[in-house]
Each structure stands twice: as C-alpha cells, then as structure tokens.
C-alpha cells in the first residue's frame, strides 16, 4: 500500500459514465470513463491520501471493484494528477 500525493488541484465534472478532469496546475484536460465520482473525490480532495485508507473507506463500503481502483490510480499517475510518494 502506498501514499499518493496530488500533483495539482483538480476540478472535474461527470456526465453519465464519463468524466472530464482539469488539472489546474498543468492546464491539461482529460476524458475518463467508468471512474466513480466518489473515487475522484477521495483522490483529489486532499494533498495526500493513503491507499490503505482508500481501500478501507471507499472500496469496501461502496463495493467498487479493486481492479478498477488500481487502473484508475495508474491512469491518474500517468496523467500527472497523482504521484506515488511512499511504498
């Protein structure tokens, strides 16, 4: 389990299964599909978050597929929205 750091403030909006994310620091805009809004809220509302906390609070309670979470985190890292800071 890792600690993730948010690399910039992120705004997002969701319509149906698609969301658009805007990285306020880089100015980049991204289109993503099938990422639950609650997951984005958890990832982008604070400067840091603990992956373990994410699993405990979100995945178990909301019954979200953990593979989807892993893929989403990988995507956010690739988009320079998050950085893994500690293992």
Partner 1 sequence: MKTKKIDIAACLGSYGLTINIGFFRYNIRSSLRTVEQSIETLYSDFELTDYETDSQLVDFHVLVDEVWQLRSVFNRQAKFFLDGLAPFNSLPIQHAPAIIEWGMNWCVSSQLNTHLIIHAAVIEKDGFAAVMPAPPGSGKSTLTASLIQEGWRLLSDELTLIDLNTLQVSPFPRPVSLKNESITVIKNRYPNVIFGPISSDTAKGNVCHIRPPSLSVKNQHVNCPIGWFIFPKYQREAKTEFFEFGKAQALMSVAENSFNYSVLGETGFDVLKNVIGKANCFQFKYSNLDEAIKVFSGLPVPQ
> CB 11 → partner 1: shortest distance, Å?
6
Which CB sits closer to partner 1, 31 or 87? 31
Identify the bridge partners of residue 18 per DSSP, sorted by sequence position.
Answer: 15, 33
Site size toward partner 1, by CB under 8 A: 13
72 binds partner 1 (CB under 8 A): no
SS3 47: coil
Which helix (H) or strand (E) segment is 22 a member of?
Answer: strand 18-23
> CB 86 → partner 1: shortest distance, Å?
29
> CB 13 → partner 1: shortest distance, Å?
5
Cα-based torsion angle of the residue sequence 40, 78, 46, 67 in order, rounded to the nearest 10 degrees = 50
Distance CA 41, CA 76 (A): 13
**Interface residues for partner 1 in 5-64 (CB under 8 A)?**
11, 13-16, 18-20, 22, 24, 27, 29, 31
């Amino acid at each position: 389990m890792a600690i993730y750091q948010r690399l910039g403030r992120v705004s997002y909006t969701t319509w149906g299964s698609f969301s658009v994310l805007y990285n306020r620091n880089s100015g980049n805009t991204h289109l993503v599909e099938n990422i639950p809004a609650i997951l984005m809220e958890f990832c982008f509302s604070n400067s840091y978050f603990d992956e373990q906390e994410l699993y405990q609070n979100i995945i178990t309670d909301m019954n979200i597929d953990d593979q989807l979470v892993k893929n989403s985190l990988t995507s956010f890292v690739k988009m320079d929205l998050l950085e893994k800071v500690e293992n």
